[in-house]
Chain A
């Protein structure tokens, strides 16, 4: 099995003796779209920082496409693109210069870097802004610029640390589509995010990190299948005074026309509608109570 990223017993202890990573193991297969989730301070950015050479590891090993970063970090870095959480470019430089210069740091000759920059910037909708000073860009365009920089050398592994933080919904959807295309074309993607919907929509596999340890590492499908109960919000066509009592379907009334029902995996939702109908309660519309992954996530990091 070929791994894009293989982390073994990775530890990071900061100078103030804070243990950020307590010997984590992680494997990401080539071609995967992988989510690394965790609450603030769990160790996500430390992990990404070590892989991207922004943070020194205390011990353990990191391999990128079988290249140990301790043996040949330069070669490993050529295969890697990193989109950091914080903006990390010169604010007074022109957008095109930032992207071309990043290509130059990877050893790409100027003429070739200009062609590559044009391609990636056009794909990201950034080409019209090429002559603007970076500081004049909106938050969304700054994010695009960060991604363009990370893709200029066509990495085989792209790591994004909360790429859609603070980005509006429309741009977030556009970026999801772009990342899916990149992944479909063969680039392995590792994503950290606070938007659990984002991980659920995009990622095939997932690891959850908490207090510097991996508490879960599985496929998204497997994780979601562990949900025993789902909550459904039912909008009623007429107000009622109290939640009906129906055996096997615990319910609560949020307001006179909003009923929330818990439906376990072994129950059929049609059965619920039938029983409600027998009690003369008609449902106009229905939606999930909350993000499904969120429930699992909260449960796991609470342990």
Chain B
């Protein structure tokens, strides 16, 4: 039997490799979100924010911070796994994993650990940046905040993995983030409460999955939300289960990686 300790060693190896990959190119992976989010805080927080006034009874910049952290976590978790997994497919170094005795669940977990690590690290960086613009910020419910942060990073890492499995070119790994993820995030309550929308658009917003992620995180950080937290957590958890099953099915069948 391929012993548990050996599987553990292989998982640690892949996880370290994944973390080392995004740390090695930190100028491309860690710095841009910090710069971009600083600009959001300057323009929408410090310059335009005071003119907007309050949102859900909070200073606008304060309202915006959880949304911007979540936006960074989502995009970076997703991008890390798509670029890394498509990269190993492109360079054929996926064969290093395929010829090894690593079980497929360990391969998936290794890539997810990479995506989650980057997502959470970026989330922490953006949070630190936000403190420069709003030093009085206090996290209301740290447990819920960390839980949502962690689950969201897992969920979007899994989605990134599926994207990378089906990707045949570098274009294929940018289409979904550009045309689907980004619009859904921007319209998912990062910059506004859906309570300010007309009823029709408020109802339309309720089918946007990003709304639940952003609002659950906002509930953890600020104690305000537009959605039911148990329902949102249940949905996030359910999607994690569904996407995990899909990823393992793809790996076991060798779709996109074996001829």
Give the interface size bracket for B toward A. Answer: 20 to 34
Cβ of A294 within 8 Å of any chain B Cβ, yes or no, is no
Cβ of A177 within 8 Å of any chain B Cβ, yes or no, is no
Per-residue contact bits, chain A 82-103, to B (CB 8 Å; 1 contact, 0 not): 1010111111100001000110
Cβ of A125 within 8 Å of any chain B Cβ, yes or no, is no
Q: Which of B87, B91, B99, B254 contacts A82 (CB 8 A)?
A: B99
Q: How far is the CB of A126 from chain B (nearest CB, A)?
A: 17
Chain-A contact segment, one of B100-108, B146-154, B198-206, B240-248: B100-108
Q: How far is the CB of A109 from chain B (nearest CB, A)?
A: 5
B contact residues around A80 at 8 Å (CB): 99
Contact of A54 with B101 in the complex, beta carbons under 8 Å:
no
- The residue among A78, A81, A104, A107 with the most chain B CB atoms within 10 A of its own CB is A107
Q: Which of A75, A86, A97, A106 contacts B100 (CB 8 A)?
A: A106
Q: How far is the CB of B98 from chain A (nearest CB, A)?
A: 5
A143 vs B60: C-alpha distance when bound (angstroms) = 59
A281 vs B142: C-alpha distance when bound (angstroms) = 100
Q: Which of A49, A73, A81, A89 contacts B93 (CB 8 A)?
A: A89
B contact residues around A14 at 8 Å (CB): 259
Cβ of A52 within 8 Å of any chain B Cβ, yes or no, is yes
Cβ of A108 within 8 Å of any chain B Cβ, yes or no, is yes
Given contacts A75-B1, A101-B17, A101-B96, A56 and B259 within 8 Å (CB-CB): yes
Per-residue contact bits, chain B 24-49, to A (CB 8 Å; 1 contact, 0 not): 10000000000000000000000000
A216 vs B3: C-alpha distance when bound (angstroms) = 40
Cβ of B5 within 8 Å of any chain A Cβ, yes or no, is yes
Q: How far is the CB of B125 from chain A (nearest CB, A)?
A: 24
Q: How many A-B residue contacts, CB cutoff 8 Å?
A: 91
Q: Which residues in window 36-74 of A have CB below 8 A to B?
A: 49, 52-56, 73-74
A contact residues around B97 at 8 Å (CB): 105
Chain-A contact segment, one of B6-14, B113-121, B188-196: B6-14
Cβ of A149 within 8 Å of any chain B Cβ, yes or no, is yes
Cβ of B172 within 8 Å of any chain A Cβ, yes or no, is no
Please, which residue of chain B has its CB at the minimum distance from the CB of A83? B99
Given contacts A90-B88, A107-B9, A78 and B254 within 8 Å (CB-CB): no
Cβ of A172 within 8 Å of any chain B Cβ, yes or no, is no
Cβ of A211 within 8 Å of any chain B Cβ, yes or no, is no
Please, which residue of chain B has its CB at the minimum distance from the CB of A103? B13
Please, which residue of chain A has its CB at the minimum distance from the CB of B5? A107
Q: Which of B1, B93, B98, B103 contacts A90 (CB 8 A)?
A: B93
Partner-A contacts on B (CB < 8 A):
1-3, 5-7, 9-10, 12-14, 17, 24, 87-88, 91-103, 254, 258-259
